[in-house]
């Protein structure tokens, strides 16, 4: 089995993901340069070796070849060890908490190529479960929004960055996101019934 570039990491947590079929990058300029060059959003995963649900999402999603294919095609994936980079974790915990109303680990963030977050959450099941959208569905939704609703995502990311930077009330930031293409659809996906039709950010992306 071919190992990814995390095999050379100094972090035991990151090295534990070296066997995953995902083109992981560590936090750094290489990842951001690639995101800008390839015009892709960044999928940010922050976890730790002691985090139970981090290992669950690794096993369920990041080791899943079908989900890995979606990630490699549409995103620049970046994996961060929370214990090695508490500064990165703190920054994005604030932003993702504003979006989802909760923080913790694993922290799953979707960023513009310049690092500004526009959507995220914590643990996602691999497929729709108990009325919650699955990670595969979310990945496809975000990828589609990035291609077709870029201006709105940019506005969301800038507004969120300003709100967090000014330490404004997170309730206000959450209201901004509720009217964004990701935030409004998240409300619909969260309330989705198991037998409802497939609808993502565009309202029509089919399952693959």
Per DSSP, the three-state class of 81 is strand
How high is the pLDDT of residue 161? 84
How high is the pLDDT of residue 185? 42
Rounded to whole angstroms, the Cα distance separating 11 from 86 reads 13
How high is the pLDDT of residue 51? 97
For the record, the structure tokens of 114 come out as 């310049």
Give one DSSP letter per residue of 129-194, joined into a string. BTTBPPHHHHHHHHHHHHHHSHHHHHHHHHHHHHHHHTT--HHHHHHHHHTSHHHHHHHHHHT--T
How high is the pLDDT of residue 163? 77
28: left (phi over 0), alpha (psi -120 to 50) or beta: left
Residue 203 φ then ψ, to 5°: 80, 15
Beta bridge partners, 76, equal: 42
How high is the pLDDT of residue 191? 38
Rounded to whole angstroms, the Cα distance separating 35 from 137 reads 21
For the record, the structure tokens of 170 come out as 């997170």
Q: pLDDT 10s per residue in the chain (208 long)?
A: 589 999 999 999 999 999 999 999 999 999 999 999 999 999 999 999 999 999 999 999 999 999 999 999 999 999 999 999 999 999 999 899 888 888 999 999 999 999 999 999 999 999 998 888 899 999 999 999 999 999 999 998 988 888 777 744 444 444 344 444 444 444 443 333 333 222 223 232 233 2
How high is the pLDDT of residue 141? 95
How high is the pLDDT of residue 108? 97
Domains of the chain, CATH where assigned: 5-190 (3.40.30.10)
Residue 153 contacts residue 196 (beta carbons within 8 Å): no
pTM: 0.82
């Amino acid at each position: 089995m071919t190992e990814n570039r995390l095999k050379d990491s100094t972090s035991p947590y990151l090295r534990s993901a070296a066997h995953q079929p995902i083109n992981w990058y560590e936090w750094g300029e290489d990842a951001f340069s690639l995101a800008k060059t390839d015009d892709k959003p960044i999928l940010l995963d922050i976890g730790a070796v002691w985090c139970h649900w981090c290992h669950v999402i690794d096993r369920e999603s990041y080791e899943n070849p079908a989900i890995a294919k979606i990630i490699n095609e549409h995103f620049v994936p970046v994996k961060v060890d929370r214990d090695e980079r508490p500064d990165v974790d703190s920054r994005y915990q604030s932003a993702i908490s504003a979006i989802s109303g909760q923080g913790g680990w694993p922290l799953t963030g979707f960023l513009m190529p310049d690092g500004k977050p526009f959507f995220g959450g914590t643990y996602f099941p691999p497929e729709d479960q108990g009325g919650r959208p699955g990670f595969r569905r979310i990945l496809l939704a975000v990828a589609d929004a990035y291609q077709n609703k870029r201006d709105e995502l940019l506005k969301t990311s800038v507004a969120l960055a300003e709100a967090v930077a000014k330490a404004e009330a997170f309730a206000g930031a959450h209201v901004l996101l509720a009217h964004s293409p990701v935030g409004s659809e998240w409300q619909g996906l969260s309330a989705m019934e198991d037998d409802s039709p497939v609808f993502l950010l565009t309202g029509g992306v089919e399952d693959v």
